Amino acid sequence: MSPNGPELISPRSSRVAAARRLARRNFRSKERLFLAEGPQAVREAAGFKDTLVELFATVEAAERYADIVGEARDAGARVHLADEQVIADISTTVTPQGLVGICRFLDTPFEEILKGRPKLVAVLANVRDPGNAGTVLRCADAAGAEAVVLTDASVDLYNPKAVRASVGSLFHLPVAVGVPVEQAVAGLKEIGVRILAADGAGTDDLDDELDQGTMGGPTAWVFGNEAWGLPEETRALADAVVRVPIHGKAESLNLATAAAVCLYASARAQRGSGGCRSVTDS
């Protein structure tokens, strides 16, 4: 502390330079560290064991979110006070909220996910938009899914936009990354999970699946690329290719909206009288 107030970290500090580099995927992969921006993400990171490494905060944010800064310190994170320009340099948002955390990677090996025998899984195959990936992760968390799998052709889980779009859900459920879609499907089938490919041109209708009572068991939904959906070879791996019915005049649903509909349909079926989980579970 200086006599005139809190001592601010220098913009030329090596710590600031190292944090700034984490906006780039190659540096994230090399250091196995990523940025968590804003109070919600930092709070979640601080509560996740051995995850939050450092926290940069403006003086104003440190005062406004004193509880979060305290949780960060309790979690063992190194806390740096910084001026707004330093936060702007580190942050990838247009309007930073004054808190930027540096976190350790926290993805889960796919084999560990299989050992947990999940009942509801979202598989992102060739999903390239980080905002969509983060939003689907958030939807999966909200629907009570027990795991998310990003295939080797999908966007980086730790892209700052994906982390922001997950709104903290990244810290709530196991996520496997870099898994070939064939391996993901084969592994899930081996533990008794039914594979449903979500596709607007699917031969099976989601409403029919619900009416027929076929969605109460363990299920993995495979979601494809935003522009061209799922290729034929991926659809062929599924037990059924399911479309979300369009009852109005809309041409289609975007990826995140379709994922929310599909995941909630499975969650409702699984919690029904004939499903694999009771209403009181989870």
Q: Does residue 279 fall inside a structural domain?
A: no
149 pLDDT higher than 70: yes
Look at residue 266 and tell me if it is in a domain.
Answer: yes
Provide the pLDDT for residue 12: 87
The first and second tokens of residue 89, run together, are: 């340099």
The answer as to whether 29 is a domain residue is yes
- 163 and 51 both lie in a single domain: no
The answer on 82 and 148 residing in a single domain is: no
pLDDT computed for residue 120 by the predictor? 98
Using CB atoms within 10 Å of the CB of residue 60, give its burial: 0 to 12 exposed, 13 to 18 middle, 19+ buried.
exposed
- Structural domain ending residue among the three candidates 57, 81, 104: 104
Residues 6+ apart with CB under 8 A from 139: 122, 256, 259, 260, 263
Question: Between 202 and 52, where is the model more confident?
Answer: 52
Residue 282, in any domain of the structure: no
Report the C-alpha gap between 225 and 229 in whole angstroms. 5
Kindly state whether residues 172 and 258 are assigned to the same domain: yes
Phi and psi angles of residue 126, each rounded to the nearest 5 degrees, phi first: 65, 30
d(Cα 270, Cα 250) in Å, to the nearest integer?
29
* Residue reference for tokens 């947990």: 116
Q: In this predicted model, what pLDDT tens digit does every residue of 228-244 receive, in sequence order?
A: 889 999 999 999 999 99
Asked if residue 18 and residue 141 are part of one domain, the reply reads no
What pLDDT score was predicted for residue 3?
A: 39
Q: Are residues 172 and 201 in the same domain?
A: yes
Q: Are residues 68 and 170 in the same domain?
A: no
pLDDT the model gives residue 275? 67
Give the CATH number for residue 148. Answer: 3.40.1280.10
Q: Are residues 158 and 215 in the same domain?
A: yes
Long-range residue pairs from 58-61, CB within 8 A, at least 24 positions apart, any chain: 58/82, 58/83, 58/84, 58/87, 58/98, 59/5, 59/6, 59/8, 60/98, 61/87, 61/97, 61/98, 61/99
Which of 88, 104, 120 terminates a domain? The answer is: 104
Residue 94's identity, in one-letter code, is V
For residues 155 and 130, the answer to whether their CB atoms sit within 8 Å is yes
Verdict on whether the full-model pTM lies above 0.85: yes
Asked if 100 and 131 sit in the same domain, the reply is no
What's the CA gap between 175 and 184, in Å, rounded?
A: 12
201 and 115 share a domain? yes
Do 183 and 208 lie in one domain? The reply is yes
pLDDT at 223 over 60: yes
Write down the pLDDT at residue 4: 41
Q: Do 245 and 200 meet the contact criterion of CB atoms below 8 Å apart?
A: no
- Are 185 and 238 in contact, with CB atoms under 8 Å apart? yes
pLDDT at 1: 39
Q: Which of 55, 84, 104 is the last residue of a domain?
A: 104
R_g over Cα of the chain: 21
Q: What is the pLDDT of residues 74-125, one digit of tens each?
A: 999 999 999 999 999 999 988 899 999 999 999 999 999 999 999 999 999 9
Give the domain extent around 261: 110-270
Q: What is the pLDDT of residue 247?
A: 92
Tell me the one-letter amino acid at 63. E
Give the chain's mean pLDDT: 92
CA distance 114 to 112: 5
**CATH number of domain containing 47:** 3.30.1330.30
Same domain, 31 and 71: yes
Pairwise CA distance, residues 138 & 58, whole Å: 28
- 123 and 225 co-located in one domain: yes
